[in-house]
Chain A
């Protein structure tokens, strides 16, 4: 335990000095503020409180931003150590590779958590300031917060796995951007075009829901939109949220961090310094 905490403390200090903490906090704060201040138009007479609407916008933002932040923080974790030449010495120490990974994960997850809490806190302040019914949206915001952190953990794990596989920071960065583009952007586009081509056949009814749940980013979006009943505010593939039961997307949200971490551990175990 001491070894994990010491690794986490050291990694947090490094991230603080490399400005990663500042970058994550500022990004989340700015985007959350912009969304909550500018995204106020659709409330009107819908009978939905201000905060719930902000949560729906924040969900769409988080799907892009959280994975990106997580991958940016994690791609260097193993490959950077290998390139600097610090890996052989570290692995000669009496510490298990899993302990190294968990230590790094704790530090990076702490930074993401700080960023998420700051961003969501600012968004809630804006909502409370302008709408006295905003309290109604608090459960949805809390749900968004913890599921964002789990989404971050998933992509941190994926980043460590890619970092172990490529062994060079430049290669790992390329793989990380590729993964982000693939899972967060292109995946949905591919599904949409498949649905259009399929025209209501087997793919749309059988494969499509599974494909959505299998992708951690889509599962995260579905979970938050279904849970808050905000599917009306959703667009694109997320419009399918009604068709998929909540427990399925929740299971995906909860399982993916463990799967990603297991993949990272397996990849890191194969690294020979």
Chain B
């Protein structure tokens, strides 16, 4: 299957400042891709170029075989801007009805969309009275209009409570199952971890890492952390057998490289009854992110 979004060697300069340098990526139908990066790493710029809102300096972008910003591309793409905003004098229902008509859909679908994002109760209230989370839901509702082939979501879950986030990702799963591609940026790394197929890390306008979470873990080769809880009185005994460990609140913390993980586990199980519990903590996405964002690796 051909990809929904293909970007090759994309460069964007604002005067002397390079916002994006040589970025290449593709997103397949039904794929959920997370775009990670610091503030100013170029995430929003990349998204605006995909949407055709700002021109690129060089490179190539195609969305469903169309150029970004063309009528065909715009009808295939749904967008949720960071901090979605709407006119405060309109009600949620009026705003969604307007968006439906702009996409050539029937405005009678508006209430159903608002129900999907849990806003049915507030549909006839002015958006000016909404909380930030409610405005974000209006933004989500408008991305569900029609059958977008690609969803570009800039920080989609900011302002949502944990329950709403889970509902939101369930909506995305449905869309992806129907073949829509999803490109989202997020600061909430833990939720991205569980809910996306692939991760892209952008740092200073360059794509520094790309792959599934397992891929990135293997490539970064960050140390594994082990937490050992000793039975009463045996802490110092275990300490003696594991000289690299440190005692924190009655538990022993130690780290070891990926390659020595099994050997270290073997040494701990060899201690037998002295060990009450053992937790193995793989490097978190935060660690991976910090690792890849640090710049070119030796």
Contacts and interface: CB of A to CB of B under 8 A. Distances in A.
B89 A14 contact: yes
A143 interface: no
Interface in A9-41: 9-10, 13-14, 17-18
A95 B53 contact: no
B48 interface: yes
A235 interface: no
A7 B74 CA distance: 18
Contacts of A18: 89
Contacts of A17: 89, 126
Contact of B101 (A6, A84, A92): A6
A89 B52 CA distance: 11
Interface string B47-58: 010011111000
Interface in A83-110: 84-86, 88-89, 91-95
Contacts of B99: 93
Given A10-B90, A10-B94, A3 B79 contact: no
Contact of A95 (B52, B84, B102): B102
A13 B83 CA distance: 24
B102 A94 contact: yes
Given A14-B90, A272-B54, A84 B102 contact: no
Interface size class of A (residues with CB under 8 A): 20 to 34
B144 to A, nearest CB: 14
B179 interface: no
A88 B54 CA distance: 10
Contacts of B98: 6-7, 9-10
Nearest to B83: A85
A250 to B, nearest CB: 38
Contacts of A13: 89-90, 94
B81 interface: yes
21 contacts: A2-B101, A6-B102, A7-B102, A13-B89, A17-B89, A84-B86, A86-B86, A88-B81, A89-B81, A89-B84, A89-B85, A92-B51, A92-B53, A92-B77, A93-B102, A93-B103, A94-B71, A272-B53, A272-B54, A272-B55, A273-B53
Interface of B: 48, 51-55, 71, 74-75, 77, 79-81, 83-87, 89-90, 94, 98-99, 101-104, 126, 139, 142
Given A14-B89, A89-B85, A92-B52, 20 more contacts: A2-B104, A6-B101, A6-B102, A7-B98, A10-B90, A10-B98, A13-B94, A14-B90, A85-B84, A86-B87, A89-B80, A89-B81, A89-B142, A92-B79, A93-B102, A94-B71, A94-B103, A94-B104, A272-B54, A273-B54
